Amino acid sequence: MNRSLGDVAGELLIVSQFTLYADSTRGNRPSYSEAAKPDIAERLYTFFVSACRAKGFRVATGIFQAPMQVQLVNEGPVTIMYDSES
């Protein structure tokens, strides 16, 4: 965790996942009501992919809004909770 993606010549797999914007502060089920609408979300997704490629990173992508099965191996364990509003 002390080295950047560039330091390790890493690559990115970027897939769209609406669950990343879940509000789980109330009740038993997360709410996605504040997530971007699909047309806006796809533009943001495409922009992010383009920005990463413009920085010189190798990027593989999924298909926006497609059901996908992704397998990966994490080096960890690490869990990072990020709340941009607090």
Q: Catalytic amino acids?
A: 17-19
Cα distances (Å, whole numbers) of residue 75 to 1, 4, 19, 52, 72: 10, 14, 22, 22, 10
Alpha-carbon span 70 to 63, nearest angstrom: 12
